[in-house]
Structure 1
Amino acid sequence: MSSNKFSSVEDYLSSLDSKRGDTLRDVIDVILEEFPDLDCKLAWNVPQICRGSDYVFGVSALKSHLALAPWSAKVVEDFKVRLESEGYVVKKNLFQIPVNWKIDEKLLSDLVMARLAELD
């Protein structure tokens, strides 16, 4: 990825090739549609979905995959078996998806709900 400093989420997404940008845009849109009280902003130079000052879900593009991060090692651990059984590479705080991922709305909703429950 580029070392550019982005000025907005749209600036970040527009800097990506169409597959990466469209997939991340779709992930963000699905989450914000289901959870209208959340916002998306740029933090650490990548899009982050927030509720007030709490970070709920982050997305980023890497060279060969995309990363989704529910901002919680516990949430990732709780979903690890499910994520690995669906073929995702799981790290401590995130999991990797292919650049042309078919959006799994149920998975995204479950992850966001788990993170929000953790924050409450």
Structure 2
Amino acid sequence: MDVFTPYLSAIDNQDHRIRMEEILNWIMEKFPQMEPVMKWNTPMFTDHGTFIIGISTAKQHVSVAPEEVTMTHFADRIEQSGYSATKGLFRIKWKDPVDYKLLEDMITYNIQDKAEYTDFWRK
């Protein structure tokens, strides 16, 4: 979590900071093999050097970016969870519950789908 400390410290709203810490800690506990990294001022997790998921804050929400392929694969579940989405990310409003099962399934999907991947991003 040390890699995320400066990012988290910069979140002025204490409730938002605590929520982000909870999400990031959950990912680290659930997937201890992944490496937490900061890239482009975004907390990310990688597996064998390839991008798996990025989680960042915005004024009204937490942004979850698992790559477009994963967004497409899970589009129905994202919608069922009530999250708004673009082609590359979905948004969890600060007061909405986190669908941790959806996060777990997305991360697992990316780890498995990118198991033989050597680049950071999908091409």
TM over 0.5: yes
1:41 matched to 2:37 = yes
1:37 is paired with a residue whose SS is coil
2:73 is paired with a residue whose SS is helix
Distance, in Å, in 1 between the alignment partners of 2:96 and 2:27 is: 15
1:62 matched to 2:58 = yes
Distance, in Å, in 2 between the alignment partners of 1:12 and 1:101 is: 22
2:105 is paired with a residue whose SS is helix
**TM norm structure 1:** 0.85
Residue aligning to 1:15? 10
Residue aligning to 1:115? 110
- Aligned match for 1:89, one of 64, 75, 84: 84
Deviation of 1:101 after TM superposition, in Å, equals 4.0
Deviation of 1:27 after TM superposition, in Å, equals 1.3
**TM norm structure 2:** 0.83
Gaps of 5+ in 1: 1-7
Distance, in Å, in 1 between the alignment partners of 2:95 and 2:38 is: 22
Deviation of 1:19 after TM superposition, in Å, equals 2.0
Residue aligning to 1:74? 69
Distance, in Å, in 2 between the alignment partners of 1:100 and 1:85 is: 17
| Residue 92 to residue 59, structure 1, CA distance change in 2 (3 Å) | same
Gaps of 5+ in 2: 116-123
Identical positions, percent: 27
Stretches (4+) displaced over 2 A: 100-105
Distance, in Å, in 2 between the alignment partners of 1:13 and 1:101 is: 20
Distance, in Å, in 2 between the alignment partners of 1:118 and 1:38 is: 15
**2:77·2:102 contact (CA, 8 Å) conserved in 1?**
no
CA RMSD in angstroms comes to 1.6
